[in-house]
Amino acid sequence: MNFVTVGKFFNVAQAELIAGRMEAAGFTVLRHGLESALGCDGGPLAVGGIRLQVPEDQAATAKELVRDLENSPSEA
């Protein structure tokens, strides 16, 4: 199964929030670089960001969801 990157984040909380929303919507999500980001001094910036990846057949719909979530106002 080929996975495609649908979002890249330099903030762990934002990456986790969006990944959780994606999983709740039924997507299979890999968090590439999360463990490395948490385990090094420079965090996500040092590892080039946290990439959220989904199976290729889910990519188009997942990209739309990520875009919508990034553009929606936060619920404070």
Question: How many domains does the chain fold into?
Answer: 1
Q: Is residue 46 part of a domain?
A: yes
Q: Looking at the predicted structure, is the pLDDT value of residue 45 above 70?
A: no
Q: Length of the chain, please?
A: 76
Give me 39's structure tokens.
């385990």
Distance CA 4, CA 20 (A): 17
Q: Looking at the predicted structure, is the pLDDT value of residue 34 above 60?
A: yes
Q: Looking at the predicted structure, is the pLDDT value of residue 8 above 90?
A: yes
Q: Looking at the predicted structure, is the pLDDT value of residue 37 above 80?
A: no
The domain of 13 spans 3-71
Supply the pLDDT for residue 16: 92
Distance CA 57, CA 60 (A): 8
Q: Is residue 59 part of a domain?
A: yes
Q: Looking at the predicted structure, is the pLDDT value of residue 36 above 90?
A: no
CATH number, position 19: 3.30.70
Q: How does pLDDT run across 51-60, given as a tens digit for each residue? A: 999 999 999 9
Contacts with 25 (C-beta within 8 Å, 6 or more apart), sequence order:
65
Q: Is residue 76 part of a domain?
A: no
Buried b (16+ CB within 10 A) or exposed e, 26-51: ebebebbbbeebeeeeebbeebebbb
pLDDT band at 71 (very low <50, low <70, confident <90, very high): confident
